[in-house]
Amino acid sequence: AVEEAADAGGSSDGDKGHAVDNRLLNEVMATGICGNNITSSCLYVIALCADPAGKYAPAALLFICGLLYLFRRIYTEVVAALPVNGGTYNLLLNTTTKGKASVAACLTMLSYVATAVISSSSAMRY
């Protein structure tokens, strides 16, 4: 199997016999994926906000935009200083105790799980 993978143009990892794909995304594809992620997040929030807010959804979304606008410099500084995954954990690890950073990491993981559950629940309703 290793020789077949090597003959097919891929490299192998030796011991396991699995083909490794070493292709990288080009700039256009990576930008497209990021843009899709940002756009889908915005549309997802609009839909979730519009349901409970009803006719006040535009005002609620403007309030959310204003609130995020106030925090833009903080977000920019954190992303520029710590451009790695787990931004909240890394920020708190560098500014507070390890215990507080761990609590934030646990809460972040719970937030991701809750987001996945809500996303799958709303997808099933469609």
Under 8 Å between Cβ of 8 and 19:
yes
Per-residue pLDDT, 10:
47
For residue range 32-58, what is the model confidence (pLDDT) as tens digits?
877 777 777 777 778 778 888 889 999
Task: Report, as an integer, the average pLDDT of 73-89.
Answer: 74
Q: In angstroms, rounded to a whole number, what is the distance separating the alpha carbons of residues 60 and 33?
A: 28
Of residues 76 and 15, more confidence is placed in 76
pTM: 0.47
